[in-house]
Structure 1
C-alpha cells in the first residue's frame, strides 16, 4: 500500500476551488470521504509475513480472486462431524484428486462468519491469516476416537479444476449448532456435484451403522451433543428368566420379523413394529431388551431414556437412514403427561407415537418401549392405535422363576435343593433384581468373615437383612411391592419410587 497523504480541511477546499469545485460537500460525499479515511488510516492493512496471507494463498491456488467465484454450502446435524470428515477424506482419496489442508488463525473466534465473509474480510482488511487447522477428538465407537477437522480449508484440485472446501464443526457459543461444508469453485455445477458425492459417502459409510448409541445433551443447554457409544450386550437365552412362552412372543415380534423380512415384504406386509414391555421395576424389562440386542448384531440401535426421549425426531431420522434399526424408548411413563415446551399442548408421548407412525411401512425399524406405569401409558396408546403391535407384561417371578434366578446368579455357590426351596419360599413377591442383590450380598458377607466360599449361613444372613423392616426402602428400590404399595397402585409416586434398577 502506498503512503497516505493527510491534509487539512482548508487545504482540501482550496484544492477543490482550484479544480473549479466551489459548492459545499454533500452528505454522501462526506460519508464516502470518511469511509476512505477509515480504510486508509483508521484500519490500515497489517503487514503479513510472506506466505501467511489468506487471500494471496487462495488467489495463488484458484488462479483468480476468491470473491469472483460462487460459494455453495451444505449442513449436517452436529453429531455428524465424524461422518462428514471421513466423507471428505474419502472423496479426496479418489484417483486424480489432491488437496492441501490449511487453517486460519483465530478461527475459533470467528465461527459465525460464512466463507464469503471470511474471504471478503481477508481481502479488504487482511483480517485473517493462515494458521493451524482446528481438530475435534470425537468418539466413533466404545473404544475409539477420531481426530476430525473442525475448521480447515481444503485447497483441492481435480484435473484442471481448482477449488476450496471449508469444513467446520458445530460451535454452540455462536448459535451455530451444525456441521457445515462450503465449496468455492469456478462453476456452481462442480460444487453441487462435489457436495452430492460427499453426501452419498456420508450415508454409505456412516460410522453409526450397526452401533449401539444414545444421544447426549448439548453442553450449552440446547440442541444435541455427540453420541455416547455402548458395547452391544452378549446374553444367551438361558440368562433370561421369564414365564413359559413369553420370550417366544417377544422374539417373534422383534427378531422373527428381522429374519423373515424378505418373505414379509414379498407378501406385502409391513416391517415397522412396536413392542411395549411393562411391569414393576426390577422384573427384567431392560434385561430382556439387552437380550434382543445380542441377537440383532446388524441392527443400529438408538437408546432414548428420560428427558432425551424428546430427541425422537432425530432418532427416527437416523433409524430410517441406517435401517435395519432398533429405537429403544425407556421409561415412557415419564413423558406420558409431560407437555411440549415448544408451544404445543400435546404430551411428549403423542409426539413419540406420531414420529413412529411417520415411518413408512417398508421401514425395517422396531420400537421397544418400556414402562413401570402402564396405567399412565395406556390412554395415549388407545388414542394413537397401531403404533404398538404387542404389549407384554414382565411380571414378578413366580416360585419356579425365583428358583431359576437363584440357579443363574448363584451358579457358583452350590446351593442345593433344600436351601433353594427355603430361599424361594422366603422371597415370595420379590423381583429378579432382588435375587441378584441377594446373591451378591451373600458373597460379600462371606468375604467379610474371611470364608473361603459362600455357605448357606451367608445366604440366610443376606435374606434376613434384605427382608428386615430396616431394609424396606431397599426392597422398594429393587422393585419389591409391599402390601401398602400393592393396594395403592394409583397413588402418586415419590422420586425414590421412580428409581429403576432393571
Structure 2
C-alpha cells in the first residue's frame, strides 16, 4: 500500500512539473508575454540586450514621470502592460522569469500600480510593476519598471531596459536620467530620510512642510544672522562670481553650542529662507543614508543638507574603537561633490569637543563655524517679550527676570512663559480682559531658578547648581577654515574684534 502511494505521489509530481513547463497559450516557442515583447522589439529575446538601472526607492515617481514624457515623445503609440503570475515576478528579473521552469506560465496581466507622495499633502499613481512598450528615436524598446519591494529582497527601484543593442539601452537610461532631473517632484521640497527596517543603507523619504520662522523671531546678537545667511544662502550673483574665478561654491556651516540655545530654531529659519532650494534633513539612524542624500543634493541643486547632532556620528575616532564607518561616509559625502556644486552642508552639535578634526580641516567640509552661546541680557529680554507676545507683561518685570536669569537659554524662557500662563489659568486670571501675567511670571521664575529646580534647569539648558555659568556672550563666535578648538581665523561679534 505504501509503495503504491509513493508511486502515485511521484507520478503526480512529474505531471505537475510537465504542466509547468508547457506554455499555457500561444505557439510552442514562447509565452504570451514573451511573444508580445518579441513582436514589439522585432526580434527574438535572445538577440536583445538587457540593461538594468538601479534607482533609489524615492526616485520611482520621478522615473515614472520621465518615462511618461519619453512615451509622449514617441508619438503616442506607447503602452504599458502588466506581468501575471505569482510572487516570483516581484523578486526575479524579467529575463530570469521568462527563462525559468515556470516561465511558460508568465502571461500579460494587469499593471501593478501604487501611490507615491509628490508633496507634504499630495500623492499620485505610479507603475509599481509593469512593462512599458515604447520607442526611442524610432527604435522599439521595452522597459520593465519596478518599485522597491524590501520584503522580497528589492530595497531599490529599477528599470530593466530591453533594446536591440547596448548603445540604445544606455541612451535611453541617459535620456530618462535627464528627464528625471528636469521634472523631479523632489526639487525645491523639504525632505526627510528614514532608514529601512530591512536595509539600514536604504529607506524612505518624507515630504515635510517648509517652516516659516520670521527673521525677527531669531533672537541673536547683531551681525550673527547676517553672517550665517550670507554663507548659506548664496545669491545668484555670488554663485556666478565664485564660479567665474574658479572658487568652490560647495560650503559647510557648523552651529555648535549648549543645548537649548536656538541652533535648531536658526536652522528652521534658514530652511524657510532657502525657498528655491531642495532641503534634505538627516538625523539619528538616517545618517546611514548620507550617500543617497548627497547624490540627491547634487542632482537637485541648489540644495541644503542638514545634519542634526552630527557629533553622534562624526565623533573623534579615538572615541570609537575600530574606526567609525559612518564618519567616513559623512566625509566621503562632503568630499564627493564637485567644487562648483551649489550645495550647503549645515551641521549642528552640542558637543563640538567630540568632533573629528578631519571633518572641519578642509574647505568645503566646514568653512564657517558659529558658536551659539547662552543669550546675554539683551537677548534674554527679547526672548521673554517674544514668547510672551500678546500677553500683558510689565517692562519692569521683564527687566527683573532678565537680570535674574543669567546663564539660562531660549528654551528656559519659553518654558518660563508656558508655566506662567498655566499658573494664571489655575488662579482664574483673565489675561484677555485686563489681568496681567507679572505675578505668575515672577512665581514661575522663582520655581525654575531655585535650587530645587536644578535638574529641570539642566534639562532645559540652564546652568547647574543654582549658580549661572556666566552672563553669556549672546552666542556669537565664528571660526573660519579650521577646527573650532584650533588656531583658525575667528570673529567675536560681541565686541567686533578679531
What is the TM-score when the length of structure 1 is the normalising length?
0.80
C-alpha contact (below 8 Å) 1:45/1:125 kept by paired residues? no
Compared CA separation, residues 166 and 465, structure 1 to 2 (3 A): same
Aligned residues of 2:219 and 2:379 also touching (Cα < 8 A): yes
Task: Work out whether 1:87 is the aligned partner of 2:69.
Answer: no
**2:491 counterpart residue number:** none
- Structure 1 segment 66-105 matched on structure 2, within 5 A: 66-94=45-73, 96-105=75-84
Given that 2:257 and 2:372 are in contact with CA atoms closer than 8 Å, whether structure 1 keeps it comes out as: yes
1:445 & 1:62 partners in 2: Cα distance? 76
Name the CA distance, whole Å, in 2 between partners of 1:74 and 1:463. 61
Distance in 2 (CA, whole Å) between partners of 1:125 and 1:94 is: 33
Helix, strand or coil: the match of 2:276?
Answer: coil
| Distance across 2 between alignment mates of 1:73 and 1:381 | 36
Q: Distance in 2 between matches of 1:120 and 1:251?
A: 59
Match of 1:285 among 258, 263, 266: 263
Rate the CA distance shift 1:125–1:266 in 2: closer, same or farther, 3 A: closer
- Shift in CA distance, 286/56, structure 1 to aligned 2, threshold 3 Å: same
- Once the 2 structures are TM-superposed, how far is the Cα of residue 394 of structure 1 from its aligned partner? 0.6
Consecutive unaligned residues in structure 1, runs of 5 or more: 1-33, 488-502
Q: Are 2:348 and 1:353 equivalent residues in the alignment? A: no
* 1:153 matches 2:135: no
After TM superposition, the structure 1 = structure 2 runs for residues 66-465 of structure 1, keeping only pairs within 5 Å, are 66-94=45-73, 96-106=75-85, 108-121=87-100, 125-156=103-134, 161-256=139-234, 260-337=238-315, 345-346=323-324, 348-377=326-355, 379-381=357-359, 387-453=365-431, 455-465=437-447
Contact residue 412 and residue 460 of structure 2 kept, 8 A: yes
Contact conserved, 2:188 with 2:277, CA < 8 A, in 1?
A: yes
Contact 1:67 1:119 in 2 (8 A): no
Deviations 1:114-166 (A, max 9, x none): 221222348x7522233322223222211112222111112335797544321
SS in 2 for 1:289: helix
Structure 1 residues 281 and 350 mapped into 2: Cα distance closer, same or farther (>3 Å)?
same
- 2 CA distance for matches of 1:443 and 1:79? 44
Alpha-carbon distance between aligned partners in 2 of 1:274 and 1:378, rounded to the nearest angstrom: 15
Q: Which has the larger radius of gyration?
A: 1
Alignment CA distance shift 1:395-1:141 (3 Å)? same
Gaps of 5+ in 2: 1-10, 470-498
Deviation at 1:401, TM superposition (A): 0.5
- Whole-angstrom distance in 1 between the partners of 2:249 and 2:17: 68
Query: How many residue pairs were aligned?
Result: 449
1:369 Cα deviation (Å)? 1.3
* C-alpha distance in structure 2 between counterparts of 1:464 and 1:259, whole Å: 52
Q: Is the 8 A contact 1:104 1:152 kept in 2?
A: yes
* 1:295–1:485 distance in 2 versus 1, CA, 3 Å: same
Q: After superposition, give the CA deviation of every residue in 1:298-352 in whole Å (9 maximum; x if it has no partner).
A: 1111111133223222222222222111111111111233779xx9734633542
Distance 1:189 1:219, change over 3 A: same
The question of whether the paired residues in 1 share the 8 Å contact of 2:394 and 2:438 is answered with no
Cα offset for 1:292?
1.5
Would you say the 8 A contact 1:66–1:119 is kept in 2?
no
8 Å CA contact retained: 2:190, 2:207: yes
**Separation in structure 2 between the aligned mates of residue 155 and residue 132 of structure 1, nearest angstrom:** 14
User: Under a length normalisation based on structure 2, what TM-score does the superposition of the two structures give?
Assistant: 0.81
Give the Cα–Cα distance (whole angstroms) in 2 for the partners of residues 476 and 258 of structure 1. 43
1:476 corresponds to which residue? Answer: 458
Could you list the per-position Cα deviations for residues 463-489 of structure 1 after superposition, in whole angstroms to 9, with x for gaps in the alignment?
A: 2333344543332221112149988xx
